Amino acid sequence: MARAVFQTADLTAEAVDDSETHVLQPLLERCEDYYQLAEGRPALPEQARNLHTERPPGLAPGQGHVFALRDAQGALVGVLDALRDYPARGEWYIGLLLFAPEARGQGRGEAVVRTYEAHLRENGGRLLRIAVLEHNPAGRRFWERMGFQPEQWVGPIELGLRRHRVLKMSRALV
């Protein structure tokens, strides 16, 4: 059974166990625009399962967190995938924040990030990190509006059928 971890004005973030990530697959398939941008193809049939199988090596159990973002009616409208104490203790890393197309442009991303940051501070988080694909200027603008500062470009990396440089960014939580 999913448990609520944090809430915004109109969304509830429920923890999704690694064995249950398949519940996110329909949402990921609705986000074809993102997967075309990032990987050059639609979401794969195992895309949701990949959320926990494609994490960096050497993570301890419990370091990876996946949250289903549900609206007031319980509909799945987004996903947040993050790592705790990565790459160092007190540092958290958002690997994916994605909303269904019909749930975008309503301030939900900002609300989720701000509420999640408060949750991290309560749990010893001192720094939040993200990485933005070079070919996602809208994503970069969003993270800059949220107060994230550029650190360094890395890559190119291969993601699906595409190659990208990635901008690592961070925001202090203290």
Q: What is the pLDDT of residues 123-152, one digit of tens each?
A: 999 999 999 999 999 999 999 999 999 999
> What are the pLDDT digits (tens) for 45-66?
999 998 888 888 888 888 999 9
Domains, in order of start, for the chain: 3-172 (3.40.630.30)
The predicted-structure confidence for 78-120, as pLDDT tens digits, reads as follows 999 999 999 999 999 999 999 999 999 999 999 999 999 999 9
Show the CA angle centred on residue 149, arms to residues 143 and 150, nearest 5°: 100
pLDDT at 2: 64
Q: What is the mean pLDDT of residues 10-16?
A: 95
Contact criterion met (CB below 8 Å) for 39 and 160: yes
Sheet holding 162-172, edge to edge: 3-7, 11-16, 64-71, 76-83, 91-99, 127-133, 162-172, 149-159
> Max alpha carbon distance in the chain (Å)?
41
Give the integer Cα–Cα distance in Å for 54 and 21: 13
The model carries a pTM of: 0.94
